[in-house]
Each structure stands twice: as C-alpha cells, then as structure tokens.
Amino acid sequence: MRRVRVTVLGKSPAFADAGGACSGYLVQEGATTLLMDVGNGVFGKLRAAIDYTTVDAVLVSHMHADHSLDLVPFAYALMYGPDGRARADPVRLMVPAGGRDQLRRVVGTWGGEDLIEDAFALEEYDSGAVLDVGGLRVRTHAVPHYLPHTNALELSAPAASSGRLTYGADHGPADALVEFARDTDILMVEATLKAPEPDGPRGHITAREAGEHGRRAGARRLVVTHVSDLIDPAWVRSEAEAGFGGPVTIAAEGDVYEV
C-alpha cells in the first residue's frame, strides 16, 4: 500500500528557531511531490532534502510571510540558476484568494512584479476547494486567523487507500477545524502561544488548546507545530498532552509522518 509521507522542513512560528525555518512541509506520495507552505528559510531546507526542480506543486495555506516568503528564492532558483531556467514548464503554485495581488505587491517593491508568475503557474483557490495533485488529494477548509483566506488542508491519496493527515495552518480557537479534522489519522495543529491573547480577536492557540482541538476532533495522533524554540518543549508537551488526553508529538525538522 502506498502512503502519504510528510517531512517537516520547518516548523517555526513567525520568527525562525535558531538554525531553523518557518512553516514548510514536504509531501510525497508515489511519484508526486508537493511542498505545503514555504515560509522563510524553507527553500534551503527543501534543497537539503530533494532536488527542487522535481517539485510538482506548491500549496500555500495563507499568505503570511512565515508561510509564503520563500516563494521568492524558489522563484529566483527556477528562473535564474547558474544554468538558466531550471525547467521548461512552470511549477504549479496554488495560493488562497487574493494571493496573486499580494505576491505582486511584495516582489514589486524591488523590481518586476511578475517574478512569481513567471516562475510558477499560479492559480488561486477558494476555501472549500478540492485540489488534486497527481495521486494526492487536498481538501481545503477556512479557519479563523488574523488574515482572511486562511485554510486548513487535508492530505490523502484516495487511489492508494491512504489515511488522512489534517494540517490546521494558523488559527485561533476553531470549531471549524475540529469538524474538518473529525476522526483524522494525524492532526498537525499549531501551538503558538504561552497564554491566550488578552484581548481582541484570537488568531493563535496555546499548547493546551491544541491538545483540546485534537481530543475534540477524535484525532488518532496529534502533532503540535508552529512552536518556537523559545518556549520550553517539556512545558509544551505536558500542556498539549493534558489537553489531548494522550501522548503528543512535538514537530521537529526532519520528522516524517505517514498516513
């Protein structure tokens, strides 16, 4: 039986760990290779893992810098490597609604605003869309975050009868994620905060809340991610396990999860 294999390239929140990278996950199934999120620092980690020219598609959960910024070096490598353009065909890039304009504004500040669209075959997706990449199927679902158009992503390989891996992206307390991840095999959920935001809208959750999301969803396995190395990992684990009611994995670069 083929499996969906997810390798952690980066798991830091908006500020990278010492020597680490922000969010990025390499997803492989059969001959299909997908990069899920591409935050700052991820392109170097991708290069250490595989030949970047073999990536079939890139999928971005939301357009915050720590999930999208290394589209810039990835684009430069595809377009202007030492041997010229690295591939005849552009790499498929899926970004949430509004992502195209956002990327044009970012790269337009220092030059050609077409950089990303020249390197990638860019398409926008709406929350709720189902995206097929080779044998991989990705379901998308809106979650509440500081940025509209933030999406939880569920990975599976229907033809291979794989399990499901649900990635929550970034979010505040999210009943939407609990429902979307119902009975999932692996839930990867953020645990950004040491304490809930004192006022205003919630955009992230604590390790205790991450555990509670996993328990309420009935996830078979819980992985907490988007956690800074500035937070004591033993505290993160004890809080997440208290919320989940069972053992929890703390995501680390190089970890591999399979469903």
Q: Could you tell me the smallest distance in angstroms from the CB atom of residue 255 to Zn ion?
A: 18
CB nearer to Zn ion: pick between 78 and 227: 227
The DSSP annotation for 114-126 comes to THHHHHEEEEEE-
Q: Could you tell me the smallest distance in angstroms from the CB atom of residue 235 to Zn ion?
A: 20
Q: Could you tell me the smallest distance in angstroms from the CB atom of residue 177 to Zn ion?
A: 14
Q: In whole angstroms, how far apart are CA 196 and each of 117, 200, 211?
A: 38, 10, 14
Q: Give the contact letters, 69-108, x = binds to Zn ion (CB under 5 A), - = no.
A: ----------------------------------------
Size of the site for Zn ion (CB under 5 A): 3
User: What is the distance between the alpha carbons of residues 168 and 175, in angstroms, rounded to a whole number?
Assistant: 11
Residue 37 touches Zn ion, criterion: CB under 5 A:
no
Q: In whole angstroms, how far apart are CA 76 and each of 33, 52, 59, 86, 112?
A: 20, 12, 18, 10, 12
Hey, how many other C-beta atoms are within 10 angstroms of the C-beta on 9? 31
Q: Which one of residues 17, 29, 37, 66 is an interface residue with Zn ion (CB under 5 A)?
A: 66
Q: Which stretch binds Zn ion (CB under 5 A): 65-73, 94-102, 160-168, 211-219?
A: 65-73
Q: Could you tell me the smallest distance in angstroms from the CB atom of residue 85 to Zn ion?
A: 31
- Which residues make Cβ contacts (< 8 Å) with residue 159, sequence separation at least 6? 135
Following CA atoms 30, 138, 105, 8 in sequence, which dihedral angle do they give, to the nearest 10 degrees?
A: -60
Residue 64 touches Zn ion, criterion: CB under 5 A:
yes
CB nearer to Zn ion: pick between 86 and 147: 147
CB nearer to Zn ion: pick between 15 and 80: 15
- Which residues make Cβ contacts (< 8 Å) with residue 61, sequence separation at least 6? 23, 36, 37, 67, 96, 150, 151, 152, 153, 167, 169, 170
> CB–CB of 103/71 below 8 Å?
yes
Q: Could you tell me the smallest distance in angstroms from the CB atom of residue 119 to Zn ion?
A: 23
Give the tokens for residue 113: 């605003």
Q: Could you tell me the smallest distance in angstroms from the CB atom of residue 212 to Zn ion?
A: 20
Q: Give the contact letters, 152-191, x = binds to Zn ion (CB under 5 A), - = no.
A: ------------------x---------------------
- List interacting residues with Zn ion (CB under 5 A): 64, 66, 170
